[in-house]
Amino acid sequence: MVKLVLQLIFAGFIISLGGCKTSKQKQSSVSSSARADVPMTEKEQLEFDFLFFEALKEKQLGNSKAAQAKLQQAIRINPRNATAHYELSQAYLENGSLDQSIISAQNAVRFDEKNNWFKMALAELYERSSNFDKMIPLLQDLVKAYPENYEYQYALAGVFSQTKKYAEAISIFEKIEKKTGVNEELALQKKELFERMGKPEKAIEEVNKLIDAVPEEPEYYGYLAEIYINNKQPDLALKAYQELQKKDPENPRIHFLLAEFYRTQGQKDKSFEELKLAFSQANTPVDAKIQVLGSYFELVSQYPELKEQSKTLCDILVKTHPEETKAHAVYGDFLFQEGNLEEAEREYRKVLALDKSSFNVWSQLLVLVNEKKDFSGMLDLSKEAIELFPNQPTLYLFKGIAAQQLKQYEQSVEAFKEGANLTVDNIGLSAQFYASLGDSYNYLNKYTESDAAYEKALKYDESNIYVLNNYAYYLSLRKQNLDRAKELALKCNDLKPGNPSYEDTYGWIFYQSGDYNSADIWIDKAIKNGGIKSATIMEHKGDILWKLGKTADALDFWKRAKELGGASDKIEMKINQQKLIE
């Protein structure tokens, strides 16, 4: 409060000094402020006037550095001129020199002790530097000079409060109250100060004064209850809340207050009943209800019993506000969080039926249908969203992924390219687009384009594990650029050691290079780290063993690969003919 009051008061002063007219008026004090014992010569006076007004011109033009320099020259001629010191203080402040600004403002006050504007300027600078103790005498002078100006008195009380001189602050507020009568601002200021002083009975008196003055105002009972709660008097707090409810039964806040009160008293059932009442009132702001649900979402994982409560509150929310999009959106978020994808989708679609303008809801719904692996629905939904938000790159990512999963590779390439062109300053997203583009080109057997896309993805994110592995594996399958493939796969395994898929890729590159012993070492690592459950890895092991002349062992691994399901379409031929089919 202190800072706001000072700034508001002082703003008018700055404006009054800013124009040329006022500065010229100040000129009348230029000569009179000079040292009496060493009067300026006519030449010095002319030189001072010239520099001073040139400084003001520079200030008007926004050249605070130039203004500062000219004022410094002027002060060398007339070092006791208060107005020049004030203007120099302002120039220092504009140039970021707070300490120098304070020194110049102090000089302004020293050379013109009766100028209250200069005192106010210095007080504002002390406030900026958090030197509140030095503000006090300046503000006391201003209060004496302007006894009817309550803003100065409020400012002084605020500084007393800031420096923990609470009794002095209260004394000022009481003087104001004697003149203006009881009012809410004063009473609440005093209430807060009495609470800080550890005098709750005095704080209660202040609130009761408000209740006596305006008995129909229900909020005052809420203030009263807060004091009782803070001082461990729950029975009196409850009584105050009940009075509040009696005065204003339709006030939606009372149920939230009572819910919090019962929660702090360990009465969880009563607390929840009050929340249900709050959620059932149509005049309770939706945002307030959503804020409560937000706290539930954070705690559900720690306290499973809250899960049912939050679902109940969500049900009440959408029934009370059936046309409110935020209500359905937050319910959808809750259902998504608990894994109820079907009902979550229902709520998100209700939002879009009411209002299609929320990009976040479209995004969340696309994430949901992706999670459901409903790629046909995801493709349709992404196309509809793109019509509404054509410049949102993530929508093209969803579209491309859906088309890719549906084996519509040409459409996926088109979507990924469009999205990549829209992506600006998002390295991760750019890498994802080009990685996906590399996959789609590979499926289309456009290997030159595929390799170029992967290389571009790695320029954006050289440690992208997904790209490193896929790119290396596809190169190995084609037996092309195997040195590059080996480099990529090695980096992938360095970044994430112990991953059977990445170890299999590295081993397979050795296989395609004809280094079967190294291939066998890496495939064994993959099997040890979980690859025993992968048909591809077990089949690769069989192929390597056959190349090493261990035909019986190779046949055994091929059979195990077939049993796992998901092996290559040549697995039957390998087993039947008991030889490697490439």
Three-state DSSP at 421 gives: helix
In a domain, 81, yes or no: yes
Question: What is the spatial distance between Cα 226 and Cα 241, in angstroms, rounded to a whole number?
Answer: 9
In a domain, 121, yes or no: yes
Residue 565: phi and psi, rounded to 5, are 80, 140
Three-state DSSP at 37 gives: coil
Last residue of a domain, one of 135, 166, 181: 181
- C-alpha distance across the termini of the chain, in Å: 81
Question: What is the spatial distance between Cα 278 and Cα 282, in angstroms, rounded to a whole number?
Answer: 9
Helix residue ranges, H only, 33-81:
42-60, 64-77
Q: Are 379 and 360 spatial neighbours (Cβ–Cβ below 8 Å)?
A: no
Per-residue pLDDT of the chain (582 residues; tens, 9 = 90+): 233 334 333 333 332 333 333 333 333 344 434 444 568 899 999 999 999 999 999 999 999 999 999 999 999 999 999 999 999 999 999 999 999 999 999 999 999 988 989 998 998 999 899 888 898 998 998 898 888 888 889 999 989 998 899 999 999 999 999 888 888 889 999 999 999 999 999 999 999 999 988 888 878 888 899 899 888 999 999 998 888 888 888 888 889 989 989 988 889 999 999 999 999 999 999 999 999 998 888 787 778 778 889 999 999 999 999 999 999 999 999 999 888 999 999 999 999 999 999 999 999 999 999 999 999 999 999 999 999 999 999 999 999 999 999 999 999 999 999 999 999 889 999 999 999 999 999 999 999 999 999 999 999 999 999 999 999 999 999 999 999 999 999 999 999 999 999 999 999 999 999 999 999 999 999 999 999 999 999 999 999 999 999 999 999 999 999 999 999 999 999 999 999 998
Last residue of a domain, one of 181, 209, 235: 181
Cα-based distances in Å from 281 to 216, 221, 450, 569: 22, 21, 59, 64
| Single-letter amino acid, residue 245 | Q
In a domain, 297, yes or no: no
In a domain, 441, yes or no: yes
In a domain, 233, yes or no: no
Q: Are 197 and 167 spatial neighbours (Cβ–Cβ below 8 Å)?
A: yes
pTM, 2 dp = 0.67
| Domain at 32, CATH number | 1.25.40.10
Last residue of a domain, one of 181, 204, 228: 181
Residue 65: phi and psi, rounded to 5, are -65, -45
Residue range of the domain that includes 442: 356-462
In a domain, 236, yes or no: no
Q: Are 132 and 165 spatial neighbours (Cβ–Cβ below 8 Å)?
A: no
In a domain, 477, yes or no: no
Q: CB-based burial of residue 127 (10 Å sphere; 0-12 exposed, 13-18 middle, 19+ buried)?
A: buried
Q: Are 75 and 100 spatial neighbours (Cβ–Cβ below 8 Å)?
A: no
In a domain, 227, yes or no: no
Number of domains in the chain: 2
